[in-house]
């Protein structure tokens, strides 16, 4: 351990010193790039499970109380028909897995690990051994979470928000060990996030290459930096919350149980004090990724670099003072609703700034429609819809009606799927050549993108409509309600969209594995990009660079600069013509 942590600090003498064995290279690796790949595989594997659970939920809502195709072998006593308790378990685990084991591992885990050292010109993370522990803690958390499917009484079924006392008393849901494992798994994941985020913050503050000033950092590094600070402050609140919940369930404490003098709303305060920053933990890295990819394929500098960085800082700051907008009708003092409405409205402003700056980046560009670019463009457009629908909930009176309907489900999926997942796909296609040293197949990439884009909108847009019609989220059978009968055809359309969305991922899986083994070899800089990672070989060797670290001469977005004949001017190249380091 000491050898790796010393070499990580950039001692040239250690470069290429030792050959590592199989276990130290592929399993218990302390190399940030291998840890990034491990997080990516964890996230993609869990995405399959989370996605299949979503299809089960959708089948039930479109054709209630009919057998789900292919589930007969699992639900033998009903022949594949879901019981209400199993339905609750399916959507609870869909959300838990997608948020904690897909989006966070892929965006913060994989691309945080991959991009930060390579883009700031460091040899590795500040604490490589801690970095390895953070992955293995996340993997253990994932195993614990999946194990919950096999325990007696089934998995947690109280929603991903696990509102107490429903989650605090086993009799109320009928699940016992499933909910306990949910708590334990998220506790372990919280520890993993702590280790990861301490590493990110320390690395970015201390280990930037010569010339890499804070305001020369690529925006994706800015976004990951701010995400890490949010993780560092938000996750411990959830971690303590789930520990208290577990104590209520198993040790007889009464934090959240009114029968013993506890307060159910305390859970909601703790949960959303974590949960709202969490939304930005999920979306900020995707914003950074879009800000990174748009300039590369528009061949233009990002529009308003400083405004982009400061708006992210603003979002992070405000994310702490808006959490109460999840609790407008919770029984919290309504006077508090007023102040939370004000802050919630304000947080829309930095998001608007970012959107207009992305449009400004496209203006006057030479846009190349590569697969990463298409995904980044889709991110921007879908984020606009998700952001605008958020304004409905910010207005407290409208939220009274909208709260807990499918309108919320539509909104969160436009932000987290339309935003974070499109951002993740953009990042995977963009950095794949650097990560694995091979190019992906553009035809399969286009097929994947267009299928995902079309079916995504077919799935999630109509959810706004049934939500406005009053359909509640988390109900087992919409046909039980007279006032929902007339809009059942939308549930069928949404489910067909969801099935299409699932099938659209097949070209991605084929492309990913085919390219991994048989794609053509990637050059150093296949996209003609400016940032430091493209100066290293593809894939970069252990410790990333040769004996000397790169020197940074300018900001990351000098595309089509008059200083250079080429339409890009990398950060690591000394000025070709005039003396001076460009802007920033």
For other proteins, the closer CB: 150 or 215: 215
- Residue of the chain from 307, 321, 458, 499 that contacts other proteins (CB under 8 A): 307
- Residue of the chain from 153, 159, 170, 526 that contacts other proteins (CB under 8 A): 159
Q: 398: phi > 0 → left, psi -120 to 50 → alpha, else beta; which? A: alpha
Distance CA 227, CA 284 (A): 7
- Residue of the chain from 335, 518, 574, 578 that contacts other proteins (CB under 8 A): 335
Among all chains, which residue has been given the structure tokens 């399916």? 90
- Residue of the chain from 559, 570, 571, 572 that contacts other proteins (CB under 8 A): 559
List, in sequence order, every residue forming a beta bridge with 178; answer none if it has no partner.
Answer: 155
- Residue of the chain from 11, 18, 368, 489 that contacts other proteins (CB under 8 A): 368
Each residue 399-438 as x (binds other proteins by CB under 8 A) or -, in order, gives -xx-xxx---------------------------------
340 binds other proteins (CB under 8 A): no
Q: Which of 146, 134, 138 is nearest to 93 (CA)?
A: 146
Would you call 153 exposed, middle or buried from its count of C-beta atoms within 10 A (0-12, 13-18, 19+)? middle
- Please state the closest distance from residue 399 (CB atom) to other proteins, in A: 9
Stretch of 25-33, 343-351, 438-446, 532-540 lying at the interface with other proteins (CB under 8 A): 343-351
- Residue of the chain from 20, 321, 329, 454 that contacts other proteins (CB under 8 A): 329
- Please state the closest distance from residue 159 (CB atom) to other proteins, in A: 5
Contacts of 215 (CB under 8 A, 6+ apart): 305, 306, 309, 555, 584
**Contact positions with other proteins (CB under 8 A) in 369-388:** 369, 377, 380-381, 384-385, 388
Would you call 342 exposed, middle or buried from its count of C-beta atoms within 10 A (0-12, 13-18, 19+)? exposed
Helix (H) or strand (E) holding 180: helix 177-206
Size of interface with other proteins, in residues (CB under 8 A): 100
Each residue 539-558 as x (binds other proteins by CB under 8 A) or -, in order, gives ------------------x-
Helix (H) or strand (E) holding 315: helix 305-318
**Cα radius of gyration rounded to whole Å, the chain:** 24
**Contact positions with other proteins (CB under 8 A) in 171-230:** 172-174
For other proteins, the closer CB: 172 or 514: 172
Stretch of 93-101, 160-168, 179-187, 438-446 lying at the interface with other proteins (CB under 8 A): 160-168
- Residue of the chain from 115, 133, 137, 166 that contacts other proteins (CB under 8 A): 166
Q: 252: phi > 0 → left, psi -120 to 50 → alpha, else beta; which? A: left
Distance CA 241, CA 264 (A): 12
**Contact positions with other proteins (CB under 8 A) in 254-293:** 258, 262-265
SS3 155: strand
Q: Which two tokens stand for residue 85?
A: 């308790």
């Amino acid at each position: 351990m000491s050898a790796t942590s010393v070499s990580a600090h950039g001692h040239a003498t250690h470069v290429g010193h030792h050959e590592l064995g199989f276990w130290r290279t592929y399993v218990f690796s302390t190399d940030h790039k291998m840890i990034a790949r491990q997080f990516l595989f964890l996230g993609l594997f869990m995405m399959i499970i989370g996605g299949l659970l979503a299809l089960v939920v959708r089948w039930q809502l479109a054709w209630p109380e009919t057998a789900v195709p292919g589930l007969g072998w699992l639900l033998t006593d009903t022949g594949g028909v879901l019981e209400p308790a199993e339905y609750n378990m399916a959507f609870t685990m869909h959300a838990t897995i997608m948020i904690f084991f897909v989006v966070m591992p892929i965006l913060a885990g994989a691309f945080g690990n991959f991009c930060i050292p390579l883009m700031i010109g460091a040899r590795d993370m500040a604490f490589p051994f801690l970095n390895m522990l953070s992955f293995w803690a996340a993997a253990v958390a994932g195993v614990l979470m999946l194990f919950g499917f096999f325990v007696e009484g089934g998995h947690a079924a109280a929603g991903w928000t696990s509102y107490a006392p429903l989650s605090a008393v086993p009799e109320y849901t009928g699940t016992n060990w499933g909910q306990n494992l949910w708590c334990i798994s998220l506790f372990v994941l919280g520890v993993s996030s702590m280790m990861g985020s301490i590493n990110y913050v320390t690395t970015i503050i201390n280990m930037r290459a010569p010339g890499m000033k804070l305001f020369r950092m690529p925006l994706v590094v800015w976004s990951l930096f701010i995400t890490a600070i949010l993780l560092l402050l938000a996750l411990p609140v959830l971690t303590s919350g789930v520990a208290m919940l577990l104590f209520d369930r198993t040790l007889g404490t009464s934090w959240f149980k009114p029968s013993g003098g506890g307060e159910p709303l305390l859970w909601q305060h703790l949960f959303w004090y974590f949960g709202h920053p969490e939304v930005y933990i999920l979306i900020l890295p995707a914003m950074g990724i879009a800000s990174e990819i748009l300039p590369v394929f528009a061949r233009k500098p990002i529009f308003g670099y400083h405004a982009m960085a400061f708006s992210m800082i603003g979002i992070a700051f405000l994310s702490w003072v808006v959490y109460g907008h999840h609790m407008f009708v919770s029984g919290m003092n309504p006077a508090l609703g007023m102040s939370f409405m004000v802050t919630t409205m304000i947080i829309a402003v930095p998001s608007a700034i970012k959107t207009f700056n992305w449009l400004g980046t496209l203006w006057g560009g030479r846009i190349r429609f590569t697969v990463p670019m298409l995904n980044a463009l889709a991110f921007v457009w879908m984020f606009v819809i998700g952001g605008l629908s958020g304004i409905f909930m910010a207005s407290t009176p409208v939220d009274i009606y909208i709260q807990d309907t499918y309108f919320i489900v539509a909104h969160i999926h436009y932000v987290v799927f339309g935003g974070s997942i499109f951002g993740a796909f953009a990042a995977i296609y963009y950095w794949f050549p650097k990560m694995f040293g091979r190019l992906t197949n553009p035809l399969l990439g286009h097929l994947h993108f267009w299928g995902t884009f079309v079916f995504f909108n077919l799935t999630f847009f109509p959810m706004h409509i049934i939500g406005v019609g009053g359909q509640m989220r988390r109900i087992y059978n919409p046909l039980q309600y007279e006032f929902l009968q007339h809009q059942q055809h939308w549930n069928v359309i949404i489910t067909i969209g969801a099935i299409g969305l699932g099938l659209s991922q097949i070209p991605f899986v084929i492309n990913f594995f085919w390219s991994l083994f048989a794609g053509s070899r990637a050059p150093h800089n296949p996209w003609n990009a400016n940032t430091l990672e493209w100066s290293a070989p593809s894939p970069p060797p252990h410790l990333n660079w040769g004996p000397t670290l790169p020197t940074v001469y300018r900001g990351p977005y000098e595309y089509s600069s008059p200083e250079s004949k080429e339409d890009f001017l990398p950060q690591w190249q000394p000025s070709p013509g005039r003396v001076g380091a460009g802007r920033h």
